[in-house]
A and B are shown apart, each in its own frame.
Chain A
Amino acid sequence: MQLERLADTFFNLQVMQQYLPKIVEGFFITIQIALAVVLAGIASGLLLALVRAFRIKALNFFIILCVDILRALPPLVLIIGFYFALPAIGIRMSAWVATWLALSLVLMAFAEEIFWAGILAVPKGQWEAARSTGLSFVQTLTDVVMPQAVRLTIPPLTNRTIAITKGTALGAVVAVGEILYQAQTAYSFSYNPSPLVLGAVAYLILFIPVVYFGRWVETRFAWKR
């Protein structure tokens, strides 16, 4: 009797069937945002770290300030701020863009810190050897230091990227039609939490391969010592 109720509540096939197309729709929107966040966040984080390597004092002060603020703010605060507060000063963006922008900025901040740590971890002797052969600062950075820094960076960056892309679920708050939003909406309409289970399954299908990919990348790029 209890078991039957449990099944009926969380694994109601009729409800699941009815809302599956919506969850699938959300699944693809989640992939869309996640990919856009990973691309924009990592690319801009890398760019900031490269700029920081020039050690221009005033510029670095701003980079560090921005990065620290972005790392301290909960992503949800940024999403709500972008979507609900910015229109007050005439800046309007869709819920999709607000979510993408907020998560990209957060990933950018963490990626910058991770790349920067990678750059610092490359021994000074590498810079000296490259410069002593006549390579310029930029050539040394791109051809000697970054290939080593990126390799050191991959494990922490993979972890951070997974953590932040999961934040796409926060888009539900501003009604981006991603997985959680679809599941929640279906739940309110059907008065049955089975769509939430379906949503959870969708997240697993999406992120378990990513987690395994991350692990593969970590072993693949581990330093041979």
Chain B
Amino acid sequence: MSGDRPILEVRGLHKSFGHLEVLKGIDLAVRKGELVFVIGPSGSGKSTLLRCCNRLEEPSSGSILVEGVDVMAPGTNINAVRRRIGMVFQSFNLYPHLDALGNVSLALRKVVGQSRAEAELAGQAALERVGLAEKANSFPNELSGGQQQRVAIARALALQPAILLFDEPTSALDPELVGSVLAVMRELRESGMTMVVVSHEMRFARSAADRVIFMDHGLIVEQGTPEKLFNAPDHQRIKDFIASIEH
């Protein structure tokens, strides 16, 4: 039953900032266990699409369903829905006043209502999953960029979300640190986590994505398997874009 219902369903999503229309009608369904990669030129609306999914941005119109729950409905408890949608940011956004374990366990205590002991146990498990069990008591400023981003992933994972959204997770990282973050994402994919990833990591997309979506000017131009989109897209501008990224 849960197999046929998409985890995330976006219908006719529009978003404007003042007079600027950033999303011009997006339809998207993400199935359980799917890794959807969103690519496109900057300003195409990729990040805004992600940010509308958990209502960090308020959509102008359209509907968004997470596990069948309408995120936009007036009666929906958005904080409860957000527990089910993890988000990983380009700039990590770890809490600098808390150590890694504190970062990962804060929402477990405050949102889920676990005791400190329970939350730290679950938090420790999440840190272990991203390979940072031994960094539990390190503060963000004592961690490398790659480690910080993995803690941020653990923070989202700890809540056991139904879907994880990645907003350019490796763009702020030094090249040699990108691999460690991608390795964690690959492990998540293999364990069946549903993910939507906005990123320019084309090699990762080719090897890990189930589906690639190309966005431009607030619309989905084309979508398909990585082979199709990277090797034989229907649109010339996709070829041009991919060539410009992979120079």
Q: A125-B93, A132-B56 are in contact. List 10 more A-B contacts (CB 8 A).
A: A123-B93, A129-B87, A132-B82, A134-B159, A139-B111, A144-B95, A148-B95, A224-B139, A224-B141, A225-B141
Taking the complex as formed, is B54 at the interface, i.e. its CB lies under 8 A from any CB of chain A? yes
- Residues of chain A within 8 A (CB-CB) of B141 are 224-225
- Whether the pair A135, B89 counts as a contact (CB closer than 8 A) is no
- Residues of chain B within 8 A (CB-CB) of A92 are none
- B residues with CB within 8 A of A: 54, 56, 79-80, 82-83, 85-87, 89, 91, 93-97, 106-107, 110-111, 139, 141, 152, 155-156, 159
B37 to chain A, nearest CB (A): 20
Taking the complex as formed, is A25 at the interface, i.e. its CB lies under 8 A from any CB of chain B? no
Nearest B residue (CB) for A139:
B110
- A residues with CB within 8 A of B: 123, 125-126, 128-136, 139, 143-144, 147-148, 151, 223-225
- Residues of chain A within 8 A (CB-CB) of B139 are 224
Give which listed residue, A131, A144, A224, contacts B56 with CB less than 8 A: A131
- Whether the pair B82, A131 counts as a contact (CB closer than 8 A) is yes
Give which listed residue, B91, B96, B97, B106, contacts A133 with CB less than 8 A: B106
- Residues of chain B within 8 A (CB-CB) of A129 are 87, 89, 93-95, 152, 155
Inter-chain CA distance A126–B156, complex, in Å, is 14
Leading 7 A-B pairs by shortest Cβ distance: A129-B93, A133-B107, A125-B93, A134-B111, A132-B87, A134-B82, A134-B83
- Whether the pair B95, A132 counts as a contact (CB closer than 8 A) is no
- Whether the pair A133, B95 counts as a contact (CB closer than 8 A) is no
Inter-chain CA distance A132–B83, complex, in Å, is 8
Q: Among the interface residues A125, A132, A143, A148, which one has the most CB atoms of the partner chain B within 10 A? A: A132
Given A128-B56, A224-B141 in contact, is the A134-B93 Cβ separation under 8 Å?
A: no
Q: Among the interface residues B56, B85, B93, which one has the most CB atoms of the partner chain A within 10 A? A: B93
Given A139-B110, A143-B106, A224-B141 in contact, is the A133-B93 Cβ separation under 8 Å?
A: no
Given A134-B82, A134-B111 in contact, is the A148-B96 Cβ separation under 8 Å?
A: yes
Inter-chain CA distance A135–B107, complex, in Å, is 6
- Residues of chain A within 8 A (CB-CB) of B89 are 125, 128-129
- Whether the pair B56, A133 counts as a contact (CB closer than 8 A) is no
- Residues of chain A within 8 A (CB-CB) of B93 are 123, 125-126, 128-129
Nearest A residue (CB) for B91:
A125
Inter-chain CA distance A129–B82, complex, in Å, is 11
Inter-chain CA distance A125–B106, complex, in Å, is 16
Inter-chain CA distance A126–B96, complex, in Å, is 9
- Residues of chain B within 8 A (CB-CB) of A144 are 95, 106
Inter-chain CA distance A212–B141, complex, in Å, is 28
